[in-house]
Amino acid sequence: MSDIPAVIPDDVLQFIARRFSAHEQAEALGLLQSAMLHDGTAPGPRLLRCAAVASGGSIDRLRMEVETLQRDYRDVIVEGEYASAGTQLVRIRDLNDPIPDEG
């Protein structure tokens, strides 16, 4: 297991500042910094972006996304980058790239 915390990209810091209430921002950042994958490594920028975006600004949802990273990071990618269109999943964003300011 790694003791190295996740490095939170600037765009994720800005997203947290825009979408989370002032009293939840520190907790949200702490959740992302302590996030781990199933192998004990810290998630990279794409996975942190996916977790943040999928949370929709809800601290409870962010907790769930961080927990999901430990089990199967692919579920977090689906939640962050895809939307349901009937019976299909459609990719609506690519979080290999920074979160847009309006995101």
Separation of CA 103 from chain center: 13
Return phi, psi of residue 54, to 5°. -60, -25
Write out the two tokens for 74. 């692919």
> Could you tell me the pTM of the whole model?
0.92
Q: What is the pLDDT along the chain (103 residues), one digit of tens a residue?
A: 456 778 899 999 999 999 999 999 999 999 999 999 999 999 999 999 999 999 999 999 999 999 999 999 999 999 999 999 999 999 999 999 999 887 5
